[in-house]
Amino acid sequence: MDQDKEYVGFATLPNQVHRKSVKKGFDFTLMVAGESGLGKSTLVNSLFLTDLYKDRKLLNAEERITQTVEITKHTVDIEEKGVKLKLTIVDTPGFGDAVNNTECWKSVADYIDQQFEQYFRDESGLNRKNIQDNRVHCCLYFISPFGHGLRPLDVEFMKALHEKVNIVPVLAKADTLTPSEVKKKKFKIREEIEQYGIKIYQFPDCDSDEDEEFKQQDQELKDSIPFAVIGSNTVVEAKGRRVRGRLYPWGIVEVENSAHCDFVKLRNMLVRTHMQDLKDVTRETHYENYRAHCIQSMTRMVVKERNRNKLTRESGTDFPIPTGPGLADTETEKLIREKDEEVRHRAEHGHGHDHQHGHDLNNEHVHEHNHGHDHEHEHGHEQHQDPHVEHEAHSEHHPPYPEGS
């Protein structure tokens, strides 16, 4: 009974948040990038047990010569134990397939920026309740197993995107390598990532109060980068068990066996342990950087505009010049101009009478009052005009993305 008196009840807050979150559902946007033939589609289907690419048409070599990098989106709603996840997979067919791959990552970078821009506009708009979050939370970058470490294209892609998105490098088709080759290649890739100053997604450090098992798992994840993955959507029979894997003449590669590859580690990291952190880093770091950059550009535009107006006002005339058609009340301006002329005329003729002098002063006072009023009018107008200026600057910087792509 005494305990009940001392119990306020806010310990139930996490339950309330949990209930609300489950009711609302979750969304996650995953981008997959890398040249064709590295098993991206297979891996995505394996990760989420869905068939996202059933309508895909593969191009022949001749068609691929002229193919440009396009961005395709697949959205699927997955439900597990009452929890709904709206999963969006962003694919980049044509990336790295051309004869000349100069700046082929540009359309990918533009797509990420356009999602940020759309979110920024929605967030600054009136209907903020139903914002669609299409920001890319994670990019799985597939590195070819055929070669020594990273290729120039890999380095350039990651450097161009590492400040816009969480990059998680994966070593594709790891079943083409022996365990010692995988180890060597991982070490080399990690070394090169550091050497070229590429900022891949950093796993957050464990809290000191976490249990030892969790700390060990976290360290294993960090040591596994880049994840050596194998994908398979076929179920094969091995030692009386049905497993997802690949059947070779000399044996079976089990996709979900951590002794064979890092598939399970990657899936656990993406879904079970770090999905929320990937979303948080996107929101708090990458999107925040984009937003700050936008606001700085807007502020610079506004300051430039104000300085321009100031210069125009001070260049030989006493009344403010409107910055565009119909920007000032012409009647008020006409009156001010007449008063201005009158005051100047009198000042030039220099009437010496006290009465007249007082009259001049009064007129000047009226002129100043109106002039001040006009300044306010101009200033108010500038403020009114600012969002327009900002919007133009903003949309000039990032052209809107065509619908339906």
Q: Note whether residue 386 is domain-resident.
A: no
Q: Note whether residue 5 is domain-resident.
A: no
Closest CA to 269 of 222, 325, 209: 222
Q: Note whether residue 320 is domain-resident.
A: no
| pLDDT band per the 50, 70, 90 thresholds, residue 43 | confident
For the beta sheet containing 235-238, the strands, ordered from the edge strand earlier in sequence to the opposite edge, are: 235-238, 241-248, 251-254
User: Which CATH number is 274's domain given?
Assistant: 3.40.50.300
pTM greater than the 0.85 cutoff: no
- Which neighbouring-strand residues pair with 41? none
Rounded CA-CA distance 97/106 in Å is: 14
Q: CA 212: distance to chain centroid?
A: 35
Going from the C-alpha of 405 to that of each of 70, 85, 274, the distances in angstroms are: 9, 22, 29
Model confidence pLDDT, tens digit, residues 184-198: 999 999 999 999 999
Q: Note whether residue 350 is domain-resident.
A: no
Q: Note whether residue 168 is domain-resident.
A: yes
Model confidence pLDDT, tens digit, residues 349-373: 654 444 444 444 444 444 444 444 4
Number of helices followed by number of strands (H, E) in the chain: 13, 9
Residues spanned by the domain of 192: 12-300
∠ CA 167-154-203 to the nearest 5 degrees?
A: 25
Rounded CA-CA distance 59/68 in Å is: 12
Closest CA to 75 of 113, 97, 48: 48
Q: Note whether residue 162 is domain-resident.
A: yes
Rounded CA-CA distance 176/129 in Å is: 49
- The number of distinct structural domains making up the chain is 1
With beta carbons less than 8 A apart as the criterion, state whether 313 and 320 touch.
yes
Q: 66-70, 143-147, 360-364 — which is least confidently predicted?
A: 360-364
Q: Note whether residue 98 is domain-resident.
A: yes
Rounded CA-CA distance 111/151 in Å is: 23
Tokens of 56: 């895909």
| pLDDT band per the 50, 70, 90 thresholds, residue 44 | confident
Q: Note whether residue 326 is domain-resident.
A: no
